[in-house]
Chain A
Amino acid sequence: MIELKNVTKIFNRGTINENVAIKGLSLKIDQYDFITVIGSNGAGKSTLLNLISGNLTPEYGEIFINDKNVTNLPVYVRASFIGQVFQDPLSGTAASLTIEENLAIALKRGKKRGLGLGVKRTDREFFKEQLSKLGLGLENRLKDRVGLLSGGQRQAVTLLMATLVKPEILLLDEHTAALDPKTAAKIIELTEYFVDEYKLTVLMVTHNMRQALSLGNRTIMMHEGEIILDVRSPERDTLQVKDLLEMFARVRGEELVDDKLLLA
């Protein structure tokens, strides 16, 4: 279970560019929750994810993972609880390392790394089995450098790496936004497969409102650093995109003006 208590994040504090990205936000993520996060640009969606992953530390408030206060723990310590997939398909894997070497790094997440061989023979069988789940034929390319793969293939490998050791929470930051529609659909399909297979807890940022409603069991909408809407199944099941837009207008008393949100 993940809990954020009254978290505030301020960028460029004390300067003319001061920007309160997250305002006293509290959120409780239950085990097996699959939450989709929507909101216009600058609403604080990515900041929220970065606060949980430890890329950013809040000015106020506390963050708990399984009742452990992780507010000030660095990213690499928190990594034992967290799986991450980024928007840029190139940032989740190391291009100069082979597929099996990347997976070996992921297999040791949260464990002690020593001077044992990184990729052992027994690991190879396991990696092949896991890679075959992606359905991309990568199980026969263990020794290929990741730099040779396409963006979609790399994102699929990143997804596998994020779940190779079961995380307490999987953070997906618009992880299909930089892919073509067909590849994006494939990555979403894989995401659903992994979430189902390993019973994962997920926080997923998306710009696609239809996707936000069709995936997972809970949707939160953010605006100016606050959560303005938090709906779960079964209430969520009957919601349409236009309902979301209406709710937004009602809560904020203003029209939602973001082409990216409306067109998606």
Chain B
Amino acid sequence: MSFYAFLGAIEQGLVYGIMALGVYITFRILDFPDLSVDGTFPLGASVAAVLIVHDINPYLSTIIAFFAGVVAGVITGILNTKLKILNLLSGILVMIALYSVNIRIMGQPNTSLLGYDTIFTPIEAFFGAERYMISPVVFLVVVIFLVIAMTWFFHTDIGLGMRGTGDNPKMVRAQGINHNFMVLLGLAFSNGLVALSGALVAQSQGSADVNMGIGTIVAGLASVILGEAFLDARTVFRGVLAVVLGSVVYRFAIAVALSFRVGSFQLNPSDLNLITAIIVTSALVSPGIKKVFKSRL
């Protein structure tokens, strides 16, 4: 693997790691399989891209994109908690609705950011460094901030309530916690992060596309599961760290698989979904493999 591909995998692992952190909140903390992220990821990208094209400050645009995700998450939450629609279906409804919404926002299926200032432009100018060096560092800073913030949040009273809600809603209600509100709050936060990830990806690759969200949930889940296979998530901090680690490992595994060559046979980018399925499957069975090895020793 070239140095360029190596940096690329780290960069992608980190920026999609932000999305994976959002997926971690819904899937692991809240036990809510939220599929709306396939729509909120491009939502964040679309909102940020359109605002940037309209000469809004890229940092402000990115923050607004985060809140667009928050709103989408709240809608999923309302469908589930107030209208009593099954959690899986609530997410799917928001996901498909967002497909149309995203095209409305952009007025077209995609928006190019070529030639516009992004959040990277001032940093590049300040350090006088190239983009491929700058963006991994920027993403790393954001990820470190999020890991610290999430670890702190999940140890506060509200954070404990949210973790309890996913674990044992009956107990949480009996202890005076409005569990529906916790679900709403978690979905808002989660989808905000996913939209933020979308906004950053759009700016780093130079365009937003309505189809860029396809498979977001699978990549997010793959990261969560891979991370747990590598790092035993006993504490919240380790759990959150595992997600980021999993996301980076996932991107590396894809990069390695794509450079894989036997004779004249080579894998294509179109084989990505198959590769992902194989990676997730092997991560899922890995604890079993470890056990077999241990019992033989």
Interface residues of A (CB under 8 A from B): 53, 74-77, 79-80, 82, 84, 86, 91-97, 101-102, 104-106, 108-110, 113-119, 145, 161
CA distance A61 to B246 in the complex (A): 55
User: Does the CB pair A109–B176 fall under 8 Å?
Assistant: yes
Question: Which has the most chain B C-beta neighbours within 10 Å: A76, A79, A101?
Answer: A76
Q: Which of A75, A77, A97 contacts B163 (CB 8 A)?
A: A97
Question: Which has the most chain A C-beta neighbours within 10 Å: B155, B158, B172, B174?
Answer: B174
B177 within 8 A of A: yes
User: Does the CB pair A79–B174 fall under 8 Å?
Assistant: yes
Interface residues of B (CB under 8 A from A): 153, 155-161, 163-164, 167-168, 170-179, 234
- Distance in Å: Cβ of B254 to nearest Cβ of chain A: 30
Given contacts A104-B160, A117-B155, A119-B155, contact A93 B175 (CB under 8 A): no
CA distance A104 to B160 in the complex (A): 8
User: Does the CB pair B175–A109 fall under 8 Å?
Assistant: yes
CA distance A254 to B161 in the complex (A): 49
User: Does the CB pair B158–A114 fall under 8 Å?
Assistant: yes
User: Does the CB pair B175–A161 fall under 8 Å?
Assistant: yes
User: Does the CB pair A80–B157 fall under 8 Å?
Assistant: no
User: Does the CB pair B155–A76 fall under 8 Å?
Assistant: no
Given contacts A105-B161, A117-B157, 13 further A-B contacts (CB under 8 A): A53-B174, A77-B176, A79-B176, A92-B171, A94-B172, A95-B167, A97-B160, A97-B167, A105-B160, A108-B157, A109-B175, A114-B156, A118-B155
Residues on the A chain within 8 Å of B177, using CB = 76, 79, 105, 113
* Nearest CB in chain B to that of A106: its residue: B175
Residues on the A chain within 8 Å of B178, using CB = 74, 76
Question: Which has the most chain A C-beta neighbours within 10 Å: B167, B170, B176, B178?
Answer: B176
Main secondary structure of the interface of B (DSSP, over half): helix
Q: Which of A84, A96, A113, A161 contacts B157 (CB 8 A)?
A: A113
Question: Which has the most chain B C-beta neighbours within 10 Å: A53, A92, A93, A105?
Answer: A105
User: Does the CB pair B173–A79 fall under 8 Å?
Assistant: yes
CA distance A84 to B171 in the complex (A): 9
Residues on the B chain within 8 Å of A119, using CB = 155
CA distance A80 to B174 in the complex (A): 9
Q: Which of A92, A110, A118 contacts B176 (CB 8 A)?
A: A110
CA distance A110 to B171 in the complex (A): 14
* Nearest CB in chain B to that of A78: its residue: B176
* Nearest CB in chain B to that of A98: its residue: B235
Residues on the A chain within 8 Å of B153, using CB = 115
Residues on the B chain within 8 Å of A105, using CB = 160-161, 164, 172, 175, 177
- Distance in Å: Cβ of B156 to nearest Cβ of chain A: 5
User: Does the CB pair B159–A118 fall under 8 Å?
Assistant: yes
Residues on the A chain within 8 Å of B174, using CB = 53, 75, 79, 82, 84, 92
* Nearest CB in chain A to that of B176: its residue: A79
CA distance A85 to B90 in the complex (A): 33
User: Does the CB pair B170–A118 fall under 8 Å?
Assistant: no
Residues on the A chain within 8 Å of B160, using CB = 97, 101, 104-105, 118
User: Does the CB pair A94–B168 fall under 8 Å?
Assistant: yes
CA distance A105 to B156 in the complex (A): 10
Given contacts A76-B176, A80-B176, A109-B176, contact A93 B155 (CB under 8 A): no
- Distance in Å: Cβ of A187 to nearest Cβ of chain B: 17
Residues on the A chain within 8 Å of B156, using CB = 114-118
Residues on the A chain within 8 Å of B163, using CB = 94, 96-97, 101
User: Does the CB pair A113–B155 fall under 8 Å?
Assistant: no
* Nearest CB in chain A to that of B160: its residue: A118
Given contacts A76-B178, A94-B163, A105-B164, contact A115 B173 (CB under 8 A): no
- Distance in Å: Cβ of A182 to nearest Cβ of chain B: 25
User: Does the CB pair B173–A94 fall under 8 Å?
Assistant: no
User: Does the CB pair A108–B176 fall under 8 Å?
Assistant: yes
Q: Which of B158, B159, B167, B176 contacts A96 (CB 8 A)?
A: B167
User: Does the CB pair B171–A113 fall under 8 Å?
Assistant: no
Query: Ordered nearest first, which 3 A-B pairs have the shortest CB separation?
Result: A79-B176, A113-B157, A94-B167
Residues on the B chain within 8 Å of A77, using CB = 176
CA distance A101 to B155 in the complex (A): 8
- Distance in Å: Cβ of A110 to nearest Cβ of chain B: 6
CA distance A118 to B160 in the complex (A): 7
* Nearest CB in chain A to that of B177: its residue: A76
CA distance A192 to B253 in the complex (A): 59
CA distance A104 to B178 in the complex (A): 16
Residues on the B chain within 8 Å of A93, using CB = 168, 171
- Distance in Å: Cβ of B159 to nearest Cβ of chain A: 7
CA distance A76 to B175 in the complex (A): 7
* Nearest CB in chain B to that of A92: its residue: B171
User: Does the CB pair A104–B157 fall under 8 Å?
Assistant: yes
User: Does the CB pair A97–B176 fall under 8 Å?
Assistant: no
Question: Which has the most chain B C-beta neighbours within 10 Å: A94, A102, A108?
Answer: A94
